[in-house]
Amino acid sequence: MATNTGKRVALVTGGGSGIGRATAVRFAELGYSCVVADIDESSAKETLRMLQTPGIAVQVDVTKATSVEAMVTAAVQHFGRIDCAFNGAGIAERATATIADTTEDEFDRVMGVNTKGVWLCLKYEIAQMLQQEPVMSDPAKWADKPDVCRFRGVRGSIVNASSIAAHYPTPMHAPYGASKWAVLGLTKTAAVEYAKEGIRVNAVSPGFVDTPMHHRNMEKLSPGEKEKTESWHPVGRIGAPEEVAEAVCWLCSDACPFTTGEHLKIAGGS
């Protein structure tokens, strides 16, 4: 039975850690009800405890259609709709192998989570959003501009996690780079397919961000390589997950109704 909280509803995959956790926290600060989904249910529940807003924790494996469909069903059963989604679940795996040294299994795992996972989330999130009544925010403001999409209402807004790795070659990390280039392709295609339905789809491309994934990657590098990596951005530092979260929430918000099919780099000038 759906709980009508009167709040907008945000779904976050990868919500148990790093950028996903920071995004769920920011959505909650902005007043959204939150669906925190992660392969690790206990970490999703831990995030939930940080939120000062209604929410549920859901176990999901984004590589499995049945699991993603069940996540969307759980969100709708609980809150009645999904206004925003951040598809943040991702893995990096080995960052130290040339193409010739990468195994088929490694390639399939990374593409499975980072690319197929985003595609499955888009598939089920969009199917749900298409059934929703468009929400008109502040219709009086747009009353004399009937062509503005905000006036027509928005069914939903989705942001996918790509990476700065989708903007440069990624030597020693080909599957990850390829998976994130593919996310941009999915984002731009979905944006065009559903633009007239009032569903916006954008992507963020973070640079190096201070998360458990980043720390796992750095452990594989020599001290010299680590230092070079962490000072690579022109601003001279890595990012904070909260800095990515802010951009995700802005892209999802009513502040940018004319922005779709876009990718926003959050990478300190890189």
**Residues with catalytic function:** 162, 176, 180
User: Does residue 209 contact residue 19 with C-beta atoms inside 8 Å?
Assistant: yes
DSSP-derived pairing of the beta strands 9-13 and 199-206 = unpaired
- CA–CA separation, 42 vs 17, rounded Å? 11
Stretch that binds ligand NAP, among 72-80, 85-93, 94-102, 143-151 (CB under 6 A): 85-93
Task: Draw the binding track, 41-80, toward ligand NAP (x: CB under 6 A; -: no contact).
Answer: --x----------------xxxx-----------------
177 binds ligand NAP, rule: CB under 6 A: no
Work out which of 71, 76, 85, 209 binds ligand NAP, going by CB under 6 A.
209
Stretch that binds ligand NAP, among 14-22, 26-34, 94-102, 133-141 (CB under 6 A): 14-22
Contacts of 57 (CB under 8 A, 6+ apart): 15, 36, 37, 38, 41, 44, 45, 47, 48
Task: Draw the binding track, 111-150, toward ligand NAP (x: CB under 6 A; -: no contact).
Answer: --x---x---------------------------------
Q: Which of 88, 156, 80, 89 is nearest to 125 (CA)?
A: 156
Work out which of 2, 31, 40, 101 binds ligand NAP, going by CB under 6 A.
40
Work out which of 55, 90, 175, 198 binds ligand NAP, going by CB under 6 A.
90
- CA–CA separation, 1 vs 208, rounded Å? 41
Is the C-alpha dihedral spanning 159, 219, 267, 33 positive or negative? positive
Phi, psi of 171 (to 5 degrees): -55, 140
Where does this chain bind ligand NAP (CB under 6 A)?
A: 13-14, 16-20, 38-40, 43, 60-63, 88-91, 113, 117, 161, 163-164, 206, 208-209, 211-214
